[in-house]
Amino acid sequence: MKLFLDFDPCKECDSFIEDLTTEESLRADDFFRNEKSAQFMRHLTYNHPEVIQAITAEVKSQERKPEFDLYK
């Protein structure tokens, strides 16, 4: 699933993004990447309510469309 969100990342967000996009991280195993991604998602969930509101709004708008493809 890909969502394009417009929000102002904090310093911790920048740190997660930097960690996930380093050459070392890109070559890391799935377990490491999944753990880092999960930490980033928890951070977004608990610290950026505007991101959760945007995701919720997108899901609701996708549900109304006949070709609900958000989860494909």
Indicate the number of domains in the chain: 1
Better-scored residue on pLDDT, 68 or 47: 47
Residue 46 in domain: yes
pLDDT digits (tens, 9 = 90+) for 1-57: 566 777 888 999 999 999 988 998 888 888 988 999 999 989 988 999 988 888 888
Residue 20 in domain: yes
Please tell me the predicted confidence (pLDDT) of residue 42: 93
Residue 2 in domain: no
Please tell me the predicted confidence (pLDDT) of residue 63: 66
Mean pLDDT of 61-67: 67
Please tell me the predicted confidence (pLDDT) of residue 10: 93
Expressed as residue numbers, the domain containing 24 is 11-64
- How many other CB atoms sit within 10 Å of the CB of residue 16? 19
Residue that is written with structure tokens 């959760």 in the block: 52
Residue 38 in domain: yes
Residue 71 in domain: no
Answer whether 0.75 is exceeded by the pTM.
no
